[in-house]
Amino acid sequence: MSSTFFGLHVAKSGLNAFQASINTTANNISNVQTEGYSKQVTNLSESSALRSFQRYGSVSTGVSTDSVSRLRDQYYNTKYWNNQSSYGFYNQKSYYMNQIEEYFKDDTATNPGFSTVFSKMFNALDQVQSNAGDTSIRNEFISDATELCTYFNFTSNRLKELQSSANDEVKSTVDTINNISQKIALLNKQINLIETGQGQPPANELRDQRELLVDQLSSIIAIDCYETKVKNSNYPDMDTGATYYSIKVNGKVLVDNYEYNELAVKTREYKHNQSDVDGLYDIQWAETGMNFDVWGINQKGSLRGLFEIRDGNDEQNLKGTAELVDDGAGGTHPSMLRITYPSNTEVDTMNLPEQGVITVNGTEYAYESFEAQTNEQGEIVSYTFSLEHPIPGSKIGKIAGNPAIVGQTVNFKGIAYYQNQMNNFARSFARAFNKIVKSGQDLNGDAGVAFFVSNDKVMNREGDFVNSREQDDVTSVDADYYKLDSNGDPVLDAKGNKIINDLREMEHAIGSTKDAQGNVTYTGGVIKATDDSYYRLTASSFAVNSVVSYNPSKFVTTINKEYNGNKDLGRDAADLVKELNKLESNVTMYRGGTADKFLQRIYADVTVDTQESENFTRNFENIRQAIDQQRQSISGVDEDEEAMNLVKFQNAYNLNAKVISTLAEMYDQLILNTGV
């Protein structure tokens, strides 16, 4: 039979239980705005009954306050983390694509873009056609042409600045990953210190902190989280209270319970694209030096978004079939590699870096320079690379016939893609313009010179200038387009004009021979990376030849200014200006369209990628909110619900206090007023 005063013990357990419930409710209310906080509940259960050896068998002993636990559903956590990586991926791309879109906008009033500048240049060219001998009008056209070059220079440099910004963010993001990983590893240890031991209370606040960190990490990289209970090897059924917590990325361990594997950035030794900025980072595991696979098939997150924006080239890398190079003695040259059947057969679209990396059968080979071999039509039929180190003997047999690629292929139109497109247009337009002006004579009767050139300087890896190119002597032009006689002089027609050789569509490096009449025929040749070729002309180096800008009389407007020995006749002749005017909208030269449609085509690329990124960002944001609502419906603190709990627990507490008060009166009657 229970004690006479046993009722006090039962009521006391109720007081303790509901006091704990009120404290838990107060904690929930105080953290209603705390990020990552999970609602906590006091877990109550019936206390073990006492055997009374009476007919009713046992006596209840009140309520037991077992623990205070938090409400979390791991299913919704996992769904949230998976969605976070996709959201971070598209949100990052949307941020940068909006900036790229601004670069290509054309606002005539406040921010004139390509179409405005291009149209202005051809309007000035119309004035030249009306009065070609007026140097002031020539100067106005040259000034507008320089403005076009400046537009390309400025836009290209802004893209380079954006690429540098994305590259800096790659480094800061890696630092963030390391910091989060370190904090999670420390929290794992603290949680186990608190929870280890049978029946120890859970470390609710620390677990909330850990999951908040995982929320942040999942938006950066796609992760998989695992938590397993640690068993006692001697007593498998015994719960030790400890857990083993790990996070994996692409199957590799990032957080290993109390330890974590750091990531590190490494500066690329070689560029992947011709217009890339120097010092781009790759990521590797700090301890092993192995590359971190940011391009993994399941990898998303803001880090992947940064790489796609920074490196994206929409698979425009040079691809082809690898071949060994004959050394001329029946063997193969160990330091040479060739790509045949190349994907890129035109100089205008060449985007491979002067020094870079060629990958064959999964093995990377660094090259110091390259040459492009052309056929008689001027098409590139192969590329030959001079390697930095000889091919190892064990790899020789794994070269021929295997796919080869230069650089990293990215299936996204990122910064490198738009740089390549501007390079392509600048080269195509400069080539067509230069071909026309070089077929005529200037105001002095001298042969025409190239109008558009490259003002780049070639620097080798040691920092020394090779074939130093100043703006005055850089022409980056095609060779003469005239048929030559046996003396190498231009062949003239009946009117004394030079005869243009239409076959000549490539640079001076292309090989040639002379037929019996002394005319030049073309058998193909070689374009070296260091040659003054259109490969060297890029959007950032696009310029008007200083020979022309300093002396407008050098600008060619006619085929022949001399008539019967009188150079004054035909001073205002502008027959070539008519041909130049056709380049605006009557000649196909860029992606199957005319020059004036350049902005339309490239802006279409930009807007498609921008809209795609924004649409997916909104979609995954909506999904994130939906999942988070489900998650918060379980773990979130509802102020109204907590207010109701306060009333409910207060009433329960008061009732238990009333029980004690009632029992006190009973015991008072029993002890003081019962006589013996």
Domain residue ranges in the chain: 1-70+636-676
pLDDT band at 486 (very low <50, low <70, confident <90, very high): low
Mean pLDDT calculated for residue range 60-67 = 87
Task: Compute the distance between CA of residue 295 and CA of residue 249 in angstroms, rounded to an integer.
Answer: 12
Task: Compute the distance between CA of residue 66 and CA of residue 183 in angstroms, rounded to an integer.
Answer: 30
What pLDDT shows up at residue 529? 81
Helix ranges (H only) for 67-195 are 74-103, 114-130, 135-195
Q: Which residues contact 482 (CB under 8 A, 6 or more apart)?
A: 439, 490, 491, 498, 499, 500, 501
Whether pLDDT at 456 is above 80: no
What pLDDT shows up at residue 539? 94
Task: Compute the distance between CA of residue 544 and CA of residue 149 in angstroms, rounded to an integer.
Answer: 7
What pLDDT shows up at residue 516? 54
- Cα 588 to Cα 28, 154, 542, 567, distances in angstroms: 70, 25, 20, 35
Helix ranges (H only) for 438-558 are 546-550
C-alpha angle with apex 591: 360 to 377, nearest 5 degrees? Answer: 65
What pLDDT shows up at residue 490? 58
What pLDDT shows up at residue 202? 87
pLDDT band at 520 (very low <50, low <70, confident <90, very high): very low
What pLDDT shows up at residue 522? 46
pLDDT band at 261 (very low <50, low <70, confident <90, very high): very high
pLDDT band at 459 (very low <50, low <70, confident <90, very high): very low
pLDDT band at 563 (very low <50, low <70, confident <90, very high): very low
Residues 265-270: contacts with CB within 8 Å, 24+ apart? Answer: 265/170, 265/171, 265/174, 269/366, 270/353, 270/355, 270/356, 270/357, 270/366
Least confident of 130-139, 254-263, 430-439, 501-510: 501-510
DSSP state letter for 202: P
Q: Which residues pair with 465 in a beta bridge?
A: 459
Per-residue pLDDT tens for 275-328? 999 999 999 999 999 999 999 888 999 999 999 999 999 989 999 999 999 877
Mean pLDDT of the chain: 85
Task: Compute the distance between CA of residue 40 and CA of residue 29 in angstroms, rounded to an integer.
Answer: 10
DSSP state letter for 292: P
Angle subtended by helix axes 135-195 and 415-437, to nearest 10: 170
Total residue length of the chain:
676
216: helix, strand or coil: helix
Q: What would the two tokens of residue 8 be?
A: 């006090």
Whether pLDDT at 129 is above 50: yes
- Contact call for residues 373 and 524 (beta carbons, < 8 A): yes
Mean pLDDT calculated for residue range 62-88 = 92
Q: Which residues pair with 521 in a beta bridge?
A: 513
Share above pLDDT 70 across residues of the chain, in percent, rounded to a whole number: 86
Mean pLDDT calculated for residue range 153-162 = 95
Whether pLDDT at 468 is above 50: no
Whether pLDDT at 500 is above 80: no
Mean pLDDT calculated for residue range 390-416 = 91
pLDDT band at 447 (very low <50, low <70, confident <90, very high): confident
Q: What would the two tokens of residue 454 be?
A: 């490259």
Mean pLDDT calculated for residue range 502-510 = 36
Q: Which residues pair with 46 in a beta bridge?
A: 63
- Cα 99 to Cα 93, 103, 104, 110, 395, distances in angstroms: 10, 7, 9, 17, 45
State the first-to-last Cα distance of the chain, in angstroms, to the nearest integer: 23
Strands (E), 361-434: 363-374, 380-387, 403-406
Whether pLDDT at 401 is above 60: yes
Mean pLDDT calculated for residue range 354-379 = 90
Task: Compute the distance between CA of residue 516 and CA of residue 502 in angstroms, rounded to an integer.
Answer: 19
- Contact call for residues 337 and 387 (beta carbons, < 8 A): yes
DSSP state letter for 539: T
Written as one letter, the residue type at 255 is V
What is the signed CA dihedral for 301, 303, 304, 310, rounded to 10 degrees? 140
What pLDDT shows up at residue 130? 87
Highest mean pLDDT among 193-207, 384-398, 451-465: 384-398
Written as one letter, the residue type at 512 is S
DSSP state letter for 523: -
Task: Compute the distance between CA of residue 46 and CA of residue 545 in angstroms, rounded to an integer.
Answer: 93
Mean pLDDT calculated for residue range 529-538 = 85
Whether pLDDT at 514 is above 60: no
**Residue 204 or residue 237, greater confidence:** 204
What pLDDT shows up at residue 48? 82
Mean pLDDT calculated for residue range 251-272 = 95
Per-residue pLDDT tens for 618-674? 999 999 999 999 999 999 999 999 999 999 999 999 999 999 999 888 888 888 877
Per-residue pLDDT tens for 338-352? 999 999 998 889 999
Strands (E), 411-480: 452-454
This prediction has a pTM of 0.85
Mean pLDDT calculated for residue range 84-106 = 95
Mean pLDDT calculated for residue range 155-159 = 95
Element (H, E) at 672: helix 639-672
Per-residue pLDDT tens for 570-628? 667 888 999 999 999 998 888 888 898 998 899 999 999 999 999 999 999 999 999 99
Written as one letter, the residue type at 288 is T
- Cα 229 to Cα 67, 239, 246, 503, 521, distances in angstroms: 19, 8, 12, 77, 80
**Residue 108 or residue 136, greater confidence:** 136
Whether pLDDT at 478 is above 70: no
What pLDDT shows up at residue 305? 96
Written as one letter, the residue type at 511 is G
What pLDDT shows up at residue 458? 42
**Residue 126 or residue 559, greater confidence:** 126
